[in-house]
Structure 1
């Protein structure tokens, strides 16, 4: 993150000097040179506007989240995070995105037979398991075995494709861990943002478990960090509709986890969400939690954070201590409780 900030501010400085010289210089006679100078000045102005917007946009707006996103994604991709040990990349399909990272549990750990299957976020169109190396290290140190799947992304692929990838990844991973000597595995599903949506859809749809010949009794819990748990109550952006399909399509309702809640869903659910989330509205998640708590009482732990944005609560705490509001402790304590 220090490197990103250094490069960004150095760019501001040098482009600013260049723009100042262009503005003070005599007008160019050549139209092409004139255009290049104009583009340079506009580019410099856009950098400064982006910086100013980070300071002035109200916390909790989608615009405030958007201007922080490039830096956030760069740090997740290039930051020097500790990763879990003995990581293996396993393909579960032919597409480059059809793979998962497997982190074996510590040999001496009584929790190594509990597999945490975690789906990354990114609005169904971005992201990768590598961006969550910090989380992998944290959870593996707790003794769990981990599976972090990748999946095909929108807009090239939609709801049905992503659900198929989840099915294949889970089935393949459970077969693989058994080959590694993990007997009678139990699983905990989880995800951040779009990944929380994918994990919840799989957990609550009993038909999908039957379709891939899995007994849902091995599911010990589900956790969602800033998850898209009620897509119908979110802003209907192109990004969302690329995934769900049009509002009048059959897949639109099927892509909403709230639609799948039933009295048979008697497994613990942990929901972490911020009231300043500008991408997945707090109200949408609150409606999901109210229905879950009404339908299956005492299965929900809903932890809210008054000042947390989507980026902060989701993954900025990997590199920014101020964004760590104790969500790591809440998650670990919940995992240790449900995995007993």
Structure 2
């Protein structure tokens, strides 16, 4: 094994361990509740709910974890739920069944089922921002822009008020690294990549605020996946935002929504605030 490859693997292992430490030790007093929406052990979501929050006025963050569709869980990303909880938002961390035991479209169906379950059991929720990291960005895009599945799962898309992608896999054909191509192949498997590719969901006018964040040094999921997605939005306006973080690798961008965040966290918090302000104007 070449030294460079070994260093990359070692770095990712260190970052994974750091994620676990953040999840289970940082903000230990903040507790989430695991709620099952299916029979499989992966079919659950972790809910961080503020007791005194007026959910009709503030967004609920529906966040989908990354992991290349083959690993990850809401528990591993609990630090994200805690971060948004501290910022004053109810947060749902959605889990889903994983590759290779389950392939496309299982992951998409699961996150739709999780959202449908949450809405059914929280009927007063009318303001949801759907967000995702890495592979979770692809699944989040499916929720927001796949109108046929919204109808299938009886989801009123008027309550979906915003879309946030953090280093998301938003255009499969712009993924240039060998490893990312393997991940996509294992996920889509025998399906047609064109049909699954989230950028192809943008086939008509988009009327929801969009924020895409990506690092320009991302060696796993090329920054051009986010650029291509934003370019495909036909009616670009001030509510369609692309933020490219200089010298940021794939795992760096998730730091914006963990612990105390970092200097780039304002991009996400400002976006959520603006979505809430737009909702107030609509009312």
**Ranges of 4+ aligned residues in structure 1 off by more than 6 Å:** none
**Alignment partner, residue 264 of structure 2:** 327
3-state secondary structure, aligned to 2:10: helix
Question: 1:223 and 1:84 mapped to 2: Cα distance?
Answer: 27
Question: 1:168 and 1:152 mapped to 2: Cα distance?
Answer: 12
Superposition pairs of residues 1-340 of structure 1, within 5 angstroms: 53=3, 57=4, 65-79=8-22, 80-82=25-27, 85-109=30-54, 114-178=59-123, 183-235=124-176, 237-246=181-190, 249-250=191-192, 252-292=193-233, 295-298=234-237, 299-315=239-255, 318=258, 326-340=263-277
Once the two structures are TM-superposed, the CA of residue 161 in structure 1 deviates from its matched residue by: 0.6
| Unaligned 5+ runs, structure 2 | 278-283
**Alignment partner, residue 42 of structure 1:** none
CA contact (8 A) 1:274 1:305 kept: yes
CA 1:237–1:199 in 2, change beyond 3 Å: closer, same or farther? same
Structure number having the greater helix percentage: 1
**Segment of structure 1 superposing worse, 79-88 or 190-199:** 79-88
CA 1:317–1:331 in 2, change beyond 3 Å: closer, same or farther? closer
Question: 2:212 and 2:77 mapped to 1: Cα distance?
Answer: 18
Cα deviation per residue 1:128-168 (whole Å; 9 max; x = unaligned)? 11222222222112221111011111111111111110111
* More relative contact order, 1 or 2 (CA 8 Å, 6+ apart): 2
Larger Rg: 1
Once the two structures are TM-superposed, the CA of residue 317 in structure 1 deviates from its matched residue by: 7.4
CA contact (8 A) 2:167 2:221 kept: yes
RMSD: 2.4
3-state secondary structure, aligned to 2:42: coil
The TM-score normalised by the length of structure 1 is: 0.73
CA 1:231–1:127 in 2, change beyond 3 Å: closer, same or farther? same
| Unaligned 5+ runs, structure 1 | 1-45
3-state secondary structure, aligned to 1:301: strand
Once the two structures are TM-superposed, the CA of residue 281 in structure 1 deviates from its matched residue by: 0.5
CA 1:121–1:101 in 2, change beyond 3 Å: closer, same or farther? same
CA 1:102–1:285 in 2, change beyond 3 Å: closer, same or farther? same
3-state secondary structure, aligned to 2:242: strand
